[in-house]
Amino acid sequence: MIEFSRSSFTWTSHPWQSDPQYRWKGGFVGQPGESYQVRFTLEARCLVTHLESNVSSELFLGAPCRSEYTIARRNLFQVPSGEWRTAFSRHAAPTIAKRSSAESEPCQSVSLTASFADHEIDVRELEHRELGTVAQVAQATLANDHLGARTRYRDERGFEVELEYPVNVMNLNADGSQFQVCTGPVLLPDLDTWDGREVHRVFQAHVAVSDFDFAEFILRQEIDAAAEVRAWLDRPRGRDRLELIDPDEPPDGYPPARPKPHAYNETWELDAVNTILAHTVAG
């Protein structure tokens, strides 16, 4: 099983170049030519396999941060702030969906090699045992064992998808032989965007599992804020990423959209194979 808390993605930026129009493009406040390093932990894994061709793509979801300034001494956050998060395979970073699965939107994977001067994906593993009964799940939970889960399902288009994620929340009714995992985030692929090697769009979701043969997902999407909320969402405090070097010469389409809030609304109910994994923590 993956030990997500010790697994990470590390990257080094290309030397920063100033933007001809935006004063704080990308939030970096250093000097032209400077680079910086970033490391964040992994939160979930998704393995997509096209069964006929036997081609697989392994995807990961990285831990989030808020829109910030790098590397600043004060005014560290863009206020109001959006969430920055990335998903990535071993080769490229797909688009994280903003819309529901029934809606199309522009999406295109971006090469990791092109995005970063250097990068490394470090996945740590733990020895584990599989829990096949509710009684075993309850025993491991109450013993404070390290818990993870795998959920595997097939799609009518000929794909198998296997998710792996930490069990951050477990509900038990041990006397009634019931358990329920309710946890996230996890990563779901938009299989309509498969190009023979990669998917170009993924969905951020949470998962609920209360049996070994069924899973329910709830997907995140952007929503529009009411006018009275947009009044302060669109009014930054302090340093503003959208500040122009020359306000009299704005680029086409200025100003771009400010961050939107998110809601979890769309659900997928799928026949699946769920496996609960346990690692006994040394006492």
pLDDT tens per residue across span 145-194: 999 999 999 999 999 999 999 999 999 997 878 999 999 999 999 999 99
Say if CB 154 and CB 138 are below 8 A apart.
Answer: no
pLDDT over 90 at 269, yes or no: yes
Give the model's pLDDT for residue 283.
Answer: 62
Give residue 237's pLDDT band: very low, low, confident or very high (50, 70, 90). confident
Instruction: Give the domain range for residue 124.
Output: 4-279
Q: pTM for this structure?
A: 0.94
What pLDDT shows up at residue 25?
Answer: 86
Tell me the two tokens of residue 171.
């509900």
Q: Are 242 and 256 in contact (CB under 8 A)?
A: yes
Query: Higher pLDDT residue, 283 or 3?
Result: 3
Based on the structure, what is the number of domains in the chain? 1
pLDDT at residue 148, as a whole number: 98
* Residue burial 151-178, b: 16+ Cβ < 10 Å; e: rest: bbbeeeeebebbbbbbbeebeeeeeeee
Average pLDDT taken over every residue of the chain: 94
